[in-house]
Structure 1
Amino acid sequence: MFWGELKPRDGNDEELARHPAVLSLSKGELYLAACSHILREDYGFVEGTNSDMPRDKQGNPIPKYTYPAIEYLTQFDYRQKRVFEFGSGGSTLFWQARAKAVTSIENNQAWYQKVMADKADNVTLLFAEGARYPQMITQLAEPFDVIVIDGAGHRYDCAQAALPFLADGGMIILDNADWHPNTAALLKQSGLLQVDMTGFKPTEHHTSTTSLFLKRDFDFPTREARQPSFGMGAKQLHSEAWDKPQT
């Protein structure tokens, strides 16, 4: 198989094989190149990595969750939802564009100042260090629909403190869950449904796992009528004949 912009005349593959602008590849290598092209162009991976800031194809900030988790999360309508984050950054900018209100706790002073300069009016950004950091959520009166555990340290303590403040029908997002199995076990054993989203991440060269822990009555409204929506690089078709009762 060949990779290039030229087509052979009269099925003359020999002409393509000799052309300097065309590569001869096995089917597996050709498909791998196509997959890399989707990661580069549709996901915006290269530009985001070069800028050291997770961004999508349009340059919008995205969280450093795994791509499968990001695609799943972007299906939902958060306009009436309240989000709490342990750890701020690109995820804060992502959530502020979607949610009714966002509260983020940061324990890195330099990063706190950076995010403070970019945050929107619907974001409350707080600073706390050490043992105060995971307990900050206990000082807030209302429950949250989405709680994100993605900060620098104390993830088990953050999860433990967060559980009483998760709203009915809500979810907890634990990033790097594969690195924090005890924290994941704590959340699952609390009765939440665990869904592991493993895959590549923006700006990173290895796979990881972002886990979602859903209340059993989870039912966020979706942005589109259909779910799932088409993913990045998907074939946008409807296999209609197989997607209805047989008559």
Structure 2
Amino acid sequence: MSLIINDLHAGIEDMPILKGLNLEIPKGEVHAIMGPNGSGKSTLSKVITGHDTYEVASGSVTMDGEDLLEMEVDERSREGVFLAFQYPAEVPGVSNANFIRAAMEARQPEGEELDAVAFYKNLYAKMDILDMDRKFTSRAVNEGFSGGEKKRNEILQMMMLEPKYCILDETDSGLDIDALKIVARGVNAMRTTERGFLVITHYQRLLDYIQPDVVHVMADGKIVKSGGKELALELEASGYDFLKADDLVGA
């Protein structure tokens, strides 16, 4: 069972961004994508999750055999896709606990309700993993949160919803080393043979704490190179100088 992207072309209006991208993320694996600014990394995450700004011109995205592109945004979420945003939005007036509970209830079979005691027991256990104070349950979603608190809140939501495929769009952006370790701890606690991860990052340091199975390099809207963790170390040391026009011929 996998998340499979085949020959995906997408962009904004008349501006192509993804140009024939191919990628397969089997359950049980963590795949990292690195690449220079403007290569299409964040666009990929938004197309997978159904952001309406982006138009798919051709290609396919399937999740465990189901056509993801035919689903509305909420359907994709209920089917098991989760995106941790690079810049999480604030939701004034809605508490964290109520927000997460509503999202979980939307996934319940019709007529079934969440048990409140079990919900809070689970929530508190996940918050302990992320070193989050109990007061965050009553605070409005991300309102007045620091950058690190917002990112931990994203991981908390992901841990509670238990999606099949987790996409982390530069979750390490703006985090100090302590916050980075906490976020990585939450992600690693979710690694199972039944869940796949796509980790988008600029920096190799995140991959010191979330060990990837495969590292991909993205440039000009497609995957141009793949390898093990050593590829991330190579990029950290040498940058993207190898991304010359001649190197991309036939990629």
TM-score with structure 1 setting the length: 0.32
- Structure with greater Cα Rg: 1
Q: Using CA pairs under 8 Å that are at least 6 residues apart, name the structure with larger relative contact order, 1 or 2.
A: 2
**Bigger proportion of residues as strand:** 2
